[in-house]
Amino acid sequence: MAPQKIAFLPFGLLVDMWRWEVFAGNVTEQNYNERWWQMRTAIQGLTSPVKRSDLVIDFDPGSKFHVPADVPYIRYFISHILQFQFHESLCEAAGQYDRNDPNSKLHQCDIYESQEAGKLLGDMLKMGSSVPWPDAMEAITGQRDMSAKPLINFFQPLIDWLEDQNEMNDEMIGWDLNWSPPEEEWTQPEPEPEPSDGASSHVGALWLLLLSLTFYFVSNH
């Protein structure tokens, strides 16, 4: 579960961080792609496998549907936080977890077939959009503010294990923000020339001829 939930969080945050910088005018068109990879390196620890160019050739943010479609992405980041906050409260309702007991493990909780947890969740869902979302969250968690603490508690055994492994193997924590792909292995491609009006007309005529021949043979056979 950790590769799916934890590994997503940096990307879930940076997509809209990049969009907000664009909307604020802090990034120019010529630097869209450069800033995208700066943020991916700083926040995710990822870099492009080959050197990328400016917007004239490459626009990597556009490969994410939400960017060209202008769909906010922060909702996915928030949902990954809230689901563990909800899970903690549902586990407490089911009698499967006690946040004040250090021996109680959130990742071992199972709310399957718990009527208490089901009622708590159902009562919250019944509110729909009739109340502001903080009111609905308070009804199930007793809090009006988001908290990442339940998420951390859920993955605490994994965090402890990773810290032990890093110390045992003397691993470097973090990454080099200035690393970039070797430039000698990269050649910027030439942009494809736009077809001339004459070429477009020639292609259009060939298509009309092909369609006419197809229609003729279909009609006479």
**Taking residues 162-186, what's their average pLDDT?**
82
The band of 144, judged by pLDDT with boundaries at 50, 70 and 90, is very high
Find out whether 53 and 33 touch, Cβ atoms under 8 Å: yes
Global confidence as pTM: 0.75
Give me the pLDDT at residue 48, please: 86
Find out whether 124 and 69 touch, Cβ atoms under 8 Å: no
Find out whether 97 and 104 touch, Cβ atoms under 8 Å: yes
